[in-house]
Structure formats: C-alpha cells, structure tokens
Chains A and B, each alone.
Chain A
Amino acid sequence: MLAAPPDFLVLLNEYQPLLRRVCRLYCPDADDRQDLYQEIVTQLWQAWPRYQPRPDVKVSTWLYRVALNVAISDLRQRTRRPAAAHLDAARLPDVPLLPADGPDTDDLHQLYRAINCLSDVDKAFVLLYLEERTYEEMADILGITQNNVRVKMHRVQEKLRQLLTQPA
C-alpha cells in the first residue's frame, strides 16, 4: 500500500480538471489521453517529495510545468501522436469530441481540431492562454522572458485564428 501524503491527494483532487484539460489538448484519442493522464500523475507523484513551495511561485505553475513537460517530451506518447501539420498545408482533422470532456459545442469542437494542427510548443501557448495565465506565470512555466512570451503568443493566436476560419 502506498503511503500517499494527504497533501498530494488534496493537490491531485483540486487540480485534476487542469490535468485533464492538458491531456485533452495534447491527445485527441481517448486511450492516449488516459495514458498521458496516468503518466502525468505518476510523474507528479514521483516529483512531489522534491517540490519546494516558494511564496512567489504558485503550485499551479509547478503543475503546468510537469504536465506540459510530460506531454511534450514523453517518448511513448510522442510515438503515438502525429506530428503537427504545417499551417499552409493544414486540413483540420476530424477530432472526436467526447461529451464527457466538456461542453459539447461545435465551436469547441472546431477549437480542438484547430489546436490539433499546432506544434506541441504552440499547444502549450494556447493552453496557457485559454487558462488565463498571466505573462509572468507563462514565462515562469516556459522558461523564456515575458517579452518573448508576448511575441510568441501573438503569433500563435494569429495561427489559431487562421485555423479557426478554415472550413472543416
């Protein structure tokens, strides 16, 4: 039996929707999504004893870092997921939207399909934008300066707008 620290369980229960949204963004396929979710929780569990809270850094910053790092760099996940399509050649793939994943609307469906055409790094920017993170926190998660976050975020939003205006 694992001696799960109660604070980890509290953290997991509180931030589970966040982790699910990260998985939903990176994995259109339900099996891949569940694999990724389990992998993220495992990595969080293993990293939790080394986590040192700092007054100037939110716990969510650490969670985003771990979740995005696993989503972007896990080898097993990477070999299953297709590479992002180039914008010019992008045709929005038909991504199934599970009703269980959130509000089942055409707009969100279109959003997921557009996001699926982006690169892994661009997806991270989109996620942080959708999650309404500040530029400061984004910079802290991504490891680049706030100015660079602004520049890149502008480009990614433009790319996303273009994809959203494409016919399905």
Chain B
Amino acid sequence: MELDELRRRWQQPAPDVSTSYNAQTLEQLLMKTKQNSIGRMRRNARWELGFTLVLLVGSTIGFFYVKSLETRTMLLWLILISLISLVSYHRHMLSGIQELSGVGATIHTHITQRVAGLRQLLQASYRSSVWVLCVTFGIVLSFALYKALTQYSGRLLLIQLVGVGLGCVVAVVVSHFVRRVVRQVLQDLYGRHLDRLEAALSDLQDAQ
C-alpha cells in the first residue's frame, strides 16, 4: 500500500476513545497523573534545600550558644558547608531542573535544553555527593588529629596518630568506593535516558 493511501486512512477518526472533557473530568484526569521525573527531581531538590536551611539555622544558633572551642569549630564548618551547598543547589540543581521544565519550545531546542540540564544535574549531584563525603571525612579526621595532639603524649600519641593514619586510608578507600557507586547509580537512573536524548538530538541534526 502506498504511503499516501495510508495517510488518508490515518486521519480517519477513532470512534470510541475520545472523552468530552468538562472541568470535573479534566480534574480527575490531572489527579490521576503520576508525578513525572522532573516533578520528583524538583521535590527532592526542595527537600534537600529545606534540610540544608535547617542545618544552617541550627548550626548558627548553636554556634552562639556553645562554649567549647572544638564544637564551635565543628559548627563553623557546618555553617560553611551549608552556605556553599545552598549557593551550589540554587545555582546548579534548581536552575538545571528549571532547564528541564519547558515543553513549548521547538523539539530541537527542547531536547538541547534537556540534554544540557540533565548533564548539569548529573554533574552537580555527583560532585556534591563526593564533596560532602570528602569534607565530612576531613572534618572528622582533623578533629581526631587535633585531639590526639592536644590530649596525648608519648606512646599514646603514637597510637592515636596511627589511628588517624588508618582513618585516612579508610577515608580514601571509602571515598573511592562511594564515587564509583554514585557514578553507577546516576548512570543507571539517568545515563541511558541521556544517551537516548543525545541520540535523538544527533538524529535531528543529521539532516542539517
């Protein structure tokens, strides 16, 4: 059969799937729609942002009430991390998600924005996960070292230093493992989708 003939048949109306929508049936339809991936990303990002804000406020309040130098230093670290996370989230995650949201653009523009936004999100997620882990290990080990140097001497100091050294080795091994796991998880979650979008973009540009 010729394509033109198929085209003619294609447009024949489908008899019984159409629904006549009113405000109520439209509402029912919209309520039934499961939250899409962008909605879930946005919701997760907001939760993380909220958590970081709570951490920032809590650390700041704590900083002014606590007397111990050790705890104050730890809280100062937390304030710094929270601030950097807030800026980073606002700059990378939320703007990346915003990039993914528009659907009214041309298909070429839409896919290009999707690819760029998704790539930005993946990089931000990967970097923030690795960064938080490294900073956490850094803080813990720094305090362990500080405590060892100020509270112990002689053989006990040596044992403490060996402990900190072992802690460093564990931190490096765990960081390496977590980096690989995070990379794999992100690849499983979004990598194939990104590959497909890039293939679609390349397919579209193929004619140009």
- Residues of A at under 8 Å CB distance from B? 1-4, 8-9, 12-13, 16-17, 20-21, 35, 38-39, 41-43, 45, 47, 50-51, 62, 65-66, 68-70, 72-76, 78-79, 83, 100-103, 105, 107-108, 110-111, 119-122, 124, 129-132, 140-145, 148-149, 151-152, 155, 157, 160-161, 164
Contacts and interface: CB of A to CB of B under 8 A. Distances in A.
B76 to A, nearest CB: 40
Interface in B2-39: 3, 5-7, 9-24, 26-27, 29-30, 32-34, 36-38
Given A38-B30, A65-B106, A164-B1, 15 more contacts: A9-B22, A17-B18, A42-B33, A47-B103, A47-B104, A65-B107, A69-B110, A73-B200, A107-B6, A121-B203, A124-B107, A142-B106, A143-B107, A143-B108, A144-B205
21 contacts: A1-B24, A8-B26, A16-B18, A16-B21, A20-B14, A41-B33, A65-B106, A76-B37, A105-B9, A107-B1, A107-B5, A111-B6, A119-B203, A124-B107, A142-B106, A143-B105, A143-B106, A144-B208, A149-B207, A152-B207, A164-B3
Nearest to A62: B104
A9 B183 CA distance: 44
B166 interface: no
A141 B7 CA distance: 19
Most buried by A among B16, B105, B203: B203
Contacts of A79: 192-193
A100 to B, nearest CB: 5
| B interface majority secondary structure | helix
B107 A142 contact: yes
A130 B23 contact: no
Contacts of A121: 107, 200, 203-204
B49 interface: no
A41 B22 contact: no
Contact of B37 (A9, A75, A129): A75
A92 B11 CA distance: 23
Nearest to B37: A75
A145 B197 CA distance: 20
B29 A41 contact: yes
B146 interface: no
Contacts of B204: 121, 142-144
